[in-house]
Chain A
Amino acid sequence: MKHLLGLESLDREEILSLLKKGKEYREWLDEVYEKRRQPLPHLKGRRICLLFYEPSTRTRHSFEIAGRLLEADVTSFSLAVSSVQKGESFKDTLLTLESMGFDLFVIRHSYSGACFYASNILRRASVVNAGDGMHEHPTQTLLDLLTIYRARNKVEGLRIAIVGDILHSRVARSAIFALNKLNWNIHICAPPTLLPKDVEKFNVKVFHRLEEAIKDVDVIYMLRIQRERQKEQFFPSLEEYSRLYRLTSQHLSLAPGAMVMHPGPVNRGVEMEGTVVDGGESFILDQVRNGVAIRMAILHSILGEEKR
């Protein structure tokens, strides 16, 4: 693998192989690293640049930790004190940093397609998409799949309800691309204002009512709702959004045994009741821990197997 730009362009086998590798790293984290606190030397000497044009906590830190656990040299590019503030273009920023010798760029950007663009601009270095606009967030979906894989011991042919702002969500797009390849039954649930045009062509079933969407699914996947969307009048108020789409403990009886997941950060009390966030069905913290493992797998797949 040269780049990881999105899951639309990966096939089933590539996804499964990343998950298998991620599972092994997770086991290493739990069983070996917990005791000895010694990183693995797999990427010793390889240089990774974290290039984040948007704020991020968990994605950025888990890439940083993943890189260090493989003994890569990880540099975080800080936008606030960079030449971007002087008006340097994305293209020049990439070429400049590549000239400093980075082997791989982890990129988060507010514009869709920015990672694809970067992969065309860079002469040698690889790109991992850490979220591009409303397009894809492939590592999020891979860590979610790893979480499901470990909990259910299977990762194909299950049922999911994805609930929330599908229109603006890169997490939803990556999930839909990957889950279709793994033969899932996909329900999506949002008010019509938060659904993209022709979304049903993705081979998903569209719901507007939370109770109907989650009935008998294996995974309830809640998306974060951004407060700015109310200002843009996609819905009347956060209160009304919560009235219709907040996942409460009462809802869980509609899907007995379902895993509850969220990419974070959660708006407690808005899209999810706090008791559900903290409850026994919630896998939110397990998702975060798997985030480190799957990112180790991704970095290793790109940098570790490539000929030096």
Chain B
Amino acid sequence: MKLLIKGGRVIDPSQRLDELADVLIEEGIIKAIEKDIQVDAPIYEAKGKLVLPAFVDLHCHLREPGQEHKEDLASGSLAGVAGGFCALFAMPNTSPPLDSKSQIGYILAKAAHLPLYIFPVGALSLGMRGEELAPIGELAEAGVKAISDDGMPVQNSGLLRNALLYARMFNLTVILHCEDTSLSQGGVANEGFTATRLGLRGIPTSAEEIAVVRAVLLALETGCKVHICHISTKNSLELVRWGKTKGAPITCDVTPHHLVLTEEAIENYDTRAKCNPPLRSEEDRKALIEGLLDGTIDCIATDHAPHSKDEWDVEFDLAPFGIAGLETAFPLLYTTLVENGLIPLELLVEKMSTTPAQLMDLELGSLKVGREANLVVIDTKPIRVNVESLFSRGKNNPFQGWTLKGFPCLTICKGEIVFERRAEL
């Protein structure tokens, strides 16, 4: 594939690049980033657009095998490339869970034919039941880079400690969804005035924070790389900050929705804003933005959690947790955080491309010459979100009807053009 992307604003934090330039791709490889490249190649006009390393998502739910009515690898991949992503880490809470070599092999075999990179995350415990360790060595051999029990967090601290000690031997990262379920049990919303008014059972912030303390201390003690996903409270950030100053091998991510919405989004019992951890207070939200700026938060991950409408169009208590946000992630953050001057654009690119790739040791998230082309061109014209025309099967997206800027208009993955937006949403 040969392509000259002309005149865009090229931003690549991995080489501290931010300039108007042309990007030349030949045989799927980035050949040059220079001004006014004169070459005989098909041209993609990018004047007024942004050219970025494609995004890497450390946390999404692709639902295959077993829950294809919510999403499958193909529909999730399309949603991914339409959202500007070149790599997705697929969580293991499928049916059955990804706790064996054959399960991992199934995902990798299918992923080879898909337009972007899919990295299956192995289960930490057998069946994600939190009782016995999954065959972590076998999973590592099968090619996983990380293990996690995600939304079914291990409650037994002894088991978790052994998992960390053991996983370290294979240089795996352990991704932890931090939740003490004895504190969150039965809860459906952040414990606060909104839940009190609506008569919804609350999930206190301590349910997350106690598990964060445990994760930080165990990372420090075992030396295993621990990545805390979808961090949501001010105190959790303080605890991670403390862990980092002590030298714990700990990193964390935040979701786009926790950076933009607060608990008030569940007003009118809107199940599309029901997620776990729940949307928190404005004070927490501000602290999360602060955490991005000061580096406590290493990256942004979507926690894309598609569900079918039959599942979420029900009474609030019965609706599953989760927001399907792969396709709105970048435009949402570009519009609400960058355009409003809350964070610099380069930082957003760094948190969505550079650092997640680095954390998982991937040759992605960079536009360095010689690398395989994995890049996205962003159009900043405003588009009104219409979930029906998004590629994900999950329409549980609370940003329906929002007008956002920054949707991808061209995505290149594995050196090929995999997505080009021609129509409006």
Most chain B beta-carbon contacts within 10 A, residue among A89, A133, A173, A196: A196
Distance to closest chain A CB from B307 (angstroms): 15
Which residues from chain B contact A91 at a C-beta distance below 8 Å? 313-314
Is B156 interfacial (CB-CB < 8 Å)?
no
> Chain A, 1-25, contact with B by CB distance < 8 Å: what is the 0/1 string?
0000000100000000000000000
Which residues from chain B contact A202 at a C-beta distance below 8 Å? 196
Q: CB < 8 Å: which of B202, B313, B315, B317 contacts A196?
A: B202
Which residues from chain A contact B195 at a C-beta distance below 8 Å? 196-197
Distance to closest chain A CB from B112 (angstroms): 40
Assess the A90–B201 pair: CB atoms within 8 A.
no
Is B425 interfacial (CB-CB < 8 Å)?
no
Distance to closest chain B CB from A180 (angstroms): 12
Most chain A beta-carbon contacts within 10 A, residue among B191, B200, B204, B269: B269
Is A135 interfacial (CB-CB < 8 Å)?
yes
Assess the A112–B192 pair: CB atoms within 8 A.
no
B202 to chain A: closest residue by CB? A197
Total contacting residues, chain B, CB less than 8 A: 20
Distance to closest chain B CB from A278 (angstroms): 32
The verdict on A111 contacting B196 (CB below 8 Å), with A116-B268, A116-B269, A117-B269 known, is no
B199 to chain A: closest residue by CB? A135
User: How many angstroms between the C-alpha atoms of A18 and B317 in the bound complex?
Assistant: 31
Which residues from chain A contact B170 at a C-beta distance below 8 Å? none
User: How many angstroms between the C-alpha atoms of A135 and B200 in the bound complex?
Assistant: 7
User: How many angstroms between the C-alpha atoms of A111 and B198 in the bound complex?
Assistant: 11
Distance to closest chain A CB from B290 (angstroms): 23
Within 8 A of B (CB), among A187-222: 196-199, 201-202
User: How many angstroms between the C-alpha atoms of A109 and B313 in the bound complex?
Assistant: 16
Is B359 interfacial (CB-CB < 8 Å)?
no
The verdict on A111 contacting B317 (CB below 8 Å), with A116-B269, A197-B192, A198-B192 known, is yes
Which residues from chain B contact A112 at a C-beta distance below 8 Å? 198-200, 269, 316-317
User: How many angstroms between the C-alpha atoms of A117 and B197 in the bound complex?
Assistant: 16
User: How many angstroms between the C-alpha atoms of A91 and B318 in the bound complex?
Assistant: 12
B191 to chain A: closest residue by CB? A197
Is A39 interfacial (CB-CB < 8 Å)?
no
Is B242 interfacial (CB-CB < 8 Å)?
no
Which residues from chain A contact B193 at a C-beta distance below 8 Å? 197-198, 201
User: How many angstroms between the C-alpha atoms of A135 and B269 in the bound complex?
Assistant: 11
Is A136 interfacial (CB-CB < 8 Å)?
yes
B313 to chain A: closest residue by CB? A91
Q: CB < 8 Å: which of A109, A113, A170, A196 contacts B196?
A: A196
Within 8 A of B (CB), among A51-91: 89-91
Which residues from chain A contact B313 at a C-beta distance below 8 Å? 91
User: How many angstroms between the C-alpha atoms of A208 and B89 in the bound complex?
Assistant: 50
User: How many angstroms between the C-alpha atoms of A89 and B269 in the bound complex?
Assistant: 17
Assess the B196–A198 pair: CB atoms within 8 A.
yes
User: How many angstroms between the C-alpha atoms of A197 and B268 in the bound complex?
Assistant: 19
User: How many angstroms between the C-alpha atoms of A133 and B269 in the bound complex?
Assistant: 13
Which residues from chain A contact B199 at a C-beta distance below 8 Å? 112-113, 132-136, 170, 173
B266 to chain A: closest residue by CB? A113
B190 to chain A: closest residue by CB? A197
Distance to closest chain A CB from B332 (angstroms): 25
Distance to closest chain A CB from B49 (angstroms): 40
> Chain B, 168-212, contact with A by CB distance < 8 Å: what is the 0/1 string?
000000000000000000000001110111111110100000000
Which residues from chain B contact A199 at a C-beta distance below 8 Å? 196
Is A114 interfacial (CB-CB < 8 Å)?
yes
Most chain B beta-carbon contacts within 10 A, residue among A8, A170, A173, A198: A198
Assess the A113–B315 pair: CB atoms within 8 A.
yes
Q: CB < 8 Å: which of A89, A113, A196 contacts B316?
A: A113
> Chain A, 116-140, contact with B by CB distance < 8 Å: what is the 0/1 string?
1100000000000000111110000
A177 to chain B: closest residue by CB? B197
Which residues from chain A contact B197 at a C-beta distance below 8 Å? 8, 173
Distance to closest chain A CB from B87 (angstroms): 38
> Chain B, 288-318, contact with A by CB distance < 8 Å: what is the 0/1 string?
0000000000000000000000000111111
Distance to closest chain A CB from B167 (angstroms): 36
Which residues from chain A contact B315 at a C-beta distance below 8 Å? 90, 109, 111, 113-114, 117
A196 to chain B: closest residue by CB? B196
Most chain A beta-carbon contacts within 10 A, residue among B193, B200, B268, B315: B315
User: How many angstroms between the C-alpha atoms of A201 and B197 in the bound complex?
Assistant: 10
Which residues from chain B contact A136 at a C-beta distance below 8 Å? 199
Beyond A112-B316, A198-B192, 20 additional contacts (C-beta under 8 Å) are: A90-B315, A111-B315, A111-B318, A113-B198, A113-B199, A113-B269, A113-B315, A113-B316, A117-B269, A133-B317, A134-B199, A135-B200, A136-B199, A170-B199, A196-B202, A197-B202, A197-B204, A198-B193, A201-B193, A201-B196
What are some 7 contacts across the A-B interface (CB < 8 A)? A111-B318, A117-B316, A133-B199, A133-B317, A197-B204, A198-B192, A198-B193
8 closest cross-chain pairs (CB), A and B: A135-B199, A113-B269, A134-B199, A112-B199, A196-B196, A198-B193, A111-B315, A111-B317
